[in-house]
């Protein structure tokens, strides 16, 4: 994605075209929506790093778009910059109260907007509770999501992924290359949710080797199979040629003992709301871990 993914929500074709050309030349991936509902649909398919949002739109206004993004766990931490002709103090306050991160009025200086976009993305990376390698949501953001799901009436399923034999890979190839594997898996998950998931789906990284996806029961199996098949089929590229030729990993453990292991592959446990009720979120994660040990495959 280069420097990041920007969603421009603007019904003025000339302005949206100008912003797309400019930010594309600056190394960003630029998505454009002319209507509010279209913007929400794009966020479902391709989560942006920042949204530049006009208030006056043909269908729903920018306030409603902002409110919808902030009320959804997956998009609640995406920075929003209001871009509008309105310059009344009350309009600015209304936008900021809804959770917008910044506000700029037309006519605007494109260099100033670029700096605000850069600042919003930089602050979101520093302040969001994300994994330092993959930028997937972690820590309290996962806790908040599981608490919300536990108390919700809509059905859900949690997929609890882990990378088997990753420690053997680290010993044989080196710890720096483990980060490349984690980023690779995170990208597969993002791409899968963008292609197959819903706006309400959630991706998180609970630890270096524990990833979660929360989705609907009807999509869980397809998402799980797509993620695991891609990882298992393509992760061999991270091994040196000599190891790929041997078909196994040979290494010395921390005590100097010679060991062998198979290549990395994903294992997954599944828990769904229909298996509940759950006393707390700890029971959800414990049940998912237990299912991964008993039956480490897709539902």
Of 162, 216, 163, 164, the closest CA to residue 193 belongs to 216
CA 280/CA 245 separation, integer angstroms: 47
Evaluate whether residue 177 is within a structural domain.
yes
pLDDT, tens digit, for every residue of 208-244?
899 999 999 999 999 999 999 999 999 999 999 999 9
Q: What is the pTM of this model?
A: 0.63
Helix axes 166-173, 175-196, angle to 10 degrees: 140
Phi (first) and psi of residue 188, to 5 degrees: -60, -45
Q: Where in the sequence is the domain holding 63, given as residue range(s)?
A: 5-127
Whether the link from the prior residue into 107 is cis, omega within 30° of 0, is: yes
Give me the number of domains the chain comprises: 2
pLDDT, tens digit, for every residue of 104-135?
888 888 999 999 999 888 777 655 567 878 88
Same domain, residue pair 16 and 147: no
Evaluate whether residue 132 is within a structural domain.
no
Pick left, alpha or beta for residue 73 (phi over 0 → left; psi -120 to 50 → alpha; otherwise beta): alpha
Domain edge (last residue) among 127, 156, 185: 127
Evaluate whether residue 262 is within a structural domain.
yes
What does the mean pLDDT of the chain come to?
89
Does residue 157 register a pLDDT over 90?
Answer: yes
Of 207, 188, 184, the closest CA to residue 197 belongs to 188
Of 260, 239, 99, 236, the closest CA to residue 173 belongs to 239
Same domain, residue pair 118 and 181: no
pLDDT, tens digit, for every residue of 239-277?
999 999 999 898 887 778 888 999 999 999 999 999 888
CA 64/CA 53 separation, integer angstroms: 11
């Amino acid at each position: 994605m280069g420097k990041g993914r920007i969603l421009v929500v603007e019904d003025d074709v000339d302005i949206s075209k100008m912003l797309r050309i400019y930010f594309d030349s600056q190394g960003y991936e630029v998505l454009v929506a002319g209507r509010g509902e279209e913007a929400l649909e794009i966020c479902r398919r391709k989560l942006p790093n920042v949204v530049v949002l006009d208030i006056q739109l043909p269908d729903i206004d920018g306030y409603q778009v902002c409110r919808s993004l902030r009320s959804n766990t997956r998009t609640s931490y995406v920075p929003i910059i209001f871009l509008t002709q309105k310059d009344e103090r009350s309009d600015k306050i209304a936008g900021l109260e809804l959770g917008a991160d910044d506000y700029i009025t037309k006519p605007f200086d494109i260099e100033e907007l670029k700096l605000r976009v850069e600042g919003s993305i930089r602050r979101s990376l520093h302040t969001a509770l994300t994994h330092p390698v993959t930028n997937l949501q972690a820590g309290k953001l996962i806790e908040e999501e599981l608490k919300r799901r536990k108390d919700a009436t809509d059905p859900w399923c949690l997929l609890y992924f882990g990378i088997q034999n990753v420690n053997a890979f680290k010993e044989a190839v080196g710890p720096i290359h483990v980060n490349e594997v984690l980023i690779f898996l995170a990208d597969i998950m993002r791409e899968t949710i963008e292609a197959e998931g819903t706006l309400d789906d959630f991706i998180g990284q609970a630890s270096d080797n524990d990833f979660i996806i929360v989705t609907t029961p009807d999509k869980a199996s397809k998402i799980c199979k797509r993620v695991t098949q891609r990882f298992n089929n393509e992760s061999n590229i991270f091994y040196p040629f000599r190891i790929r030729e041997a078909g196994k990993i040979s290494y010395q453990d921390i005590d100097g003992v010679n060991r062998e292991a198979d290549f990395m592959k994903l294992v997954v446990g599944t828990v769904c709301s229909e298996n509940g009720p759950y006393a707390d979120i700890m029971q959800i994660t414990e049940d998912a871990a237990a299912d991964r040990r008993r039956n480490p495959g897709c539902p």
